[in-house]
A and B are shown apart, each in its own frame.
Chain A
Amino acid sequence: MTTAPPSPFEYAPAPESRSIVDIAPSYGLFVDGEFVDGSGTPFTTVDPATEEVLSEVAAGTAEDVDRAVKAARRAFTRTWGPMRPADRGKYLFRIARLLQERAREFAVLESLDNGKPIRESRDVDVPLAAAHFFYHAGWADKLDWAGLGPGPRPLGVAGQVIPWNFPLLMLAWKVAPALATGNTVVLKPAETTPLTALLFAEVCRQADLPPGVVNIVTGAGDTGRAVVEHEDVDKVAFTGSTEVGKSIARAVAGTRKKLTLELGGKAANIVFDDAPIDQAVEGIVLGIFSNQGHVCCAGSRLLVQEDVHDEVVASLQRRIGTLRLGDPLDKNTDIGAINSHLQLARIRELVDIGEAEGAQRWQPACELPERGFWFPPTVFTDVSPAHRIARDEVFGPVLSVLTFRTPDEAVAKANNTTYGLSAGIWSEKGSRILAIADRLRAGVVWANTFNRFDPTSPFGGYKQSGYGREGGRVGLAAYLKEAR
């Protein structure tokens, strides 16, 4: 906080040891159970906190993708498809345990490659990824109860393209249900965060997963396109931007490919005047600043009832002042690095637009490291629903504060977006919470909490935030078809 006196209680650096991870100087593609060279020009992945090159990673071309899809098809028809469902489940249980055993390694690697604080990768990303495998493992031999009638069938080969914000967790959200339902997978990790997926490949080997069941093809947009457009892919699952989601929907139009999309969001976090203010402030902070705001369901629009606006904003600013920004590997860091130079530029652009449009920008006094990609937590007040920072997804630590006077106005403003992924409600009045939750057009509504995830809990959007669900029983439908 800008006005707080310096504390005598300065936390000494508490860095998590990097030595637990062993990053190879270069990585190939993981196809048919082996690491192989890619045909494209390799690219580097950097630590966004230091801009240090971590490794060189193979770029998959259409031919590489074709090899991966063929391997996946072979595995689907020969090993994974015919396998006893209970055995498929056991493989997934093994993977869950391996992720737990190597949790620290995954957490450190994730923070290095992504820039997110170790506290989050350690306490959120990795445990949830393991939980996803554990949960879906149990489904493998119980699919008659998946809600599609008796004897539902897998689709075949799933082509999956995942984003850079939760690299391992999004992998788990994609791979675990696909494998549990008997599909095989060709996964394309994000260009800037391929390393935990490649470490996951090693986990697949340690689990003795049959070759070809999971194939990982690294690369950029072209590689993803090759996965999506491959003729022998039966299912496409994508998490990422709405813009790319639309192009994928266009690409699979007229094909047999089943498509699920988890896209952008501009979630409203609605704070009523009877809210538990301190917890609401925590929820607002968690909602927009966790993972540097690189969260599709981030609560990026704070809708606060006018009569508590000043109090909430003051509390929020004081709280933001206690956030600790810096080395992602420091166990006390709350806000890490922006994932890439590109994303940083996008955030800066939108923040500049916000100021130009007349909103009031506030940032705590906060020193940014000299190297690496950083952006301070930012709050815009006096934001109008017409401002671009109230409409466009920033995907960064930038909060827009709007006000409302009545519940009707809150709902109208919350729903006034082309997105519909998530929303938050803060109030101590139960009936009001239920009424507002009912009227919000959003796939996940957090009441008196925010950004909670669980493998049993379906996640996904309304409107242009995409379609299909991940997690829970309904999530299985994305990878199954009825027996008939």
Chain B
Amino acid sequence: MAGMTHVLDPDALSAGAPLRPEPPAPFSDVTRSDAALRAFLHGLPGVDQVGAEARVGVLATRSIKTTAKAWAIDTAISMVDLTTLEGADTPGKVRSLAAKAKQPDPTDPSCPQVAAVCVYGDLAGVARKALEGTGIHTAAVATAFPSGRASRAVKLADVRDAVAGGADEIDMVIDRGAFLAGRYLDVYDEIVAVKETCGDAHLKVILETGELVTLDNVRRASCLAMLAGGDFIKTSTGKISPAATLPVCLVMMEAVRDFRAATGRQVGVKPAGGIRTTKDAIRHLVLVNEVAGPDWLSPERFRFGASGLLNDLLLQRQKLHSGHYSGPDHVSVD
């Protein structure tokens, strides 16, 4: 009944059990049934919230100075997914963002480029064109971002559209309703379907941790997204508060670390939303460094989903190079 109004892709609703691709060994059998997947996810070690907060509290006291700070700022800049996700976005706005992505600090050509520009799917083509030849990725949010409340057919169409428009990275949202209702296999199947639809585009799976609430859920959702083939797991849409927090990032870094140890597959992490200052960014890098290890300290494996962060990184970079404090008029407005 509900299906009738949403049939955009008849294949997506084809009857009968779909041929479900297996997760990597040693987890290949955990998706054989709803019960098996549930047992697996609920069998993951719990996360003690206070302990996790205490851990990030200590990491947050790391004092990153001079050469280390310079390295961290440049690395952070190179990890930024420069993002605009507003209803008011226009091609002009996106082109301006792309210009900034290519040359974050016009006064200093040594300043690195960002990793990607992240936009809504309908503007992916604009971004792709503006970024032509730069090596900067075009990321598009899809799957009825940010709520994810649409039929699977609509979501897949959304993905197809963005990829067709030129996105080489897709930031999807999981079905939090299904996840919180315990329909893990539905969530899994959807991620698998999106991944398939992405083709060569990289898939970032947004967990929207602010709606999952508990760190146990973050751990389970991270694992689910990795099993389903996500290339990155991402904290948030930026539309829900709280967005990226250090404890959430800690749990996700532990999840990707353990997943690689078990399967050999290395999944990236993208905290998004709420990271506004250089200090925040450096704290995240410290966390990456000490929890998952240096293998994750590159834009291939770690991103910041942010807009305002870049300017603060640039101001701090200028201060570090000039020796004196800079001001907001010395960096470009978005």
| B261 CB, min distance to chain A CBs, angstroms | 9
Query: Which of B46, B54, B62, B294 is in CB contact (< 8 Å) with A428?
Result: B46
Contact B62 A276 (CB under 8 A): no
One of A5, A14, A449 near B63 (C-beta < 8 A): A14
| Closest residue of A by beta carbon distance from B58 | A119
34-90 of chain B: CB within 8 A of chain A: 45-48, 50-52, 54-55, 58, 61-69, 71-72, 75
How many chain B residues sit at the interface, stated as a range, is 20 to 34
Q: Is the CB of A278 within 8 A of B45?
A: yes
- Determine whether the beta carbon of B45 is less than 8 Å from that of A119: no
B293 at the interface (CB under 8 A from A): yes
Whether B161 is near chain A, meaning CB under 8 Å from some CB there, is no
Cβ-defined contact, B294 with A4, below 8 A: yes
Chain A CB within 8 A of B254 CB: yes
Across the interface, do B51 and A449 meet the contact criterion of CB distance under 8 Å?
yes
- Assess whether A403 is interfacial by the CB under 8 Å rule: no
CA distance A279 to B50 in the complex (A): 9
Distance in angstroms between the alpha carbons of A276 and B51 in the assembled complex: 9
- Of B45, B68, B294, which is within 8 A of A277 by CB? B45
Q: Output the residue of B54, B63, B295 with the most chain A CB within 10 A.
A: B63
Contact B68 A12 (CB under 8 A): yes
A428 contacts across to B, CB distance below 8 A: 46
In the complex, the answer to whether B47 meets A14 with C-beta atoms within 8 Å is no
In the complex, what's the smallest C-beta–C-beta distance from B219 to chain A, in angstroms? 9
Report the bound CA distance from A165 to B61 in whole Å. Answer: 23
Shortest Cβ gap from A261 to chain B (Å):
31
A283 at the interface (CB under 8 A from B): yes
B61 neighbours in A (Cβ, 8 Å): 119, 123, 331
Report, as a range, how many residues of chain A touch the other chain: 20 to 34
Chain B nearest CB, measured from A319 CB (Å): 9
B289 at the interface (CB under 8 A from A): yes
The winner among B51, B64, B289 for most chain A CB atoms within 10 A is B51
CB distance from A274 to the nearest CB of B (A): 7
B144 within 8 A of A: no
Any A CB within 8 A of the CB of B285: yes
Q: A275-B45, A277-B45, A279-B55 are in contact. Are A14 and B65 (CB under 8 A)?
A: yes
- With an 8 A cutoff between CB atoms, is A41 at the interface? no
Are B297 and A11 within 8 A (Cβ)?
no
A254 adjacent to chain B (CB < 8 Å): no
A57 to chain B, nearest CB (A): 31
B290 interface residue (CB < 8 Å to A): yes
B:145-202 near A, CB below 8 Å: none
Nearest B residue to A315 by beta-carbon distance?
B258
A10 at the interface (CB under 8 A from B): yes
Question: Which of B46, B71, B72, B290 touches A322 (beta carbons < 8 Å)?
Answer: B290
For B71, what are the chain A residues with a Cβ–Cβ distance below 8 Å?
A: 8-10
**A25 within 8 A of partner (CB):** no
Report, nearest first, the 10 A-B pairs whose CB atoms are least far apart: A279-B51, A14-B63, A7-B294, A331-B63, A277-B45, A279-B48, A276-B48, A12-B68, A428-B46, A276-B46
Q: List 5 A-B contacts (CB under 8 A).
A: A5-B293, A8-B297, A12-B65, A14-B63, A276-B46
> Chain A residues in contact with chain B, CB under 8 A?
4-14, 119, 123, 274-279, 282-283, 322, 331-332, 428, 448-449
Other than the given A275-B46, A276-B48, A449-B48, 12 more pairs (CB < 8 A) read A4-B293, A7-B289, A7-B294, A9-B71, A9-B285, A10-B71, A12-B67, A279-B48, A282-B51, A331-B61, A428-B46, A448-B48
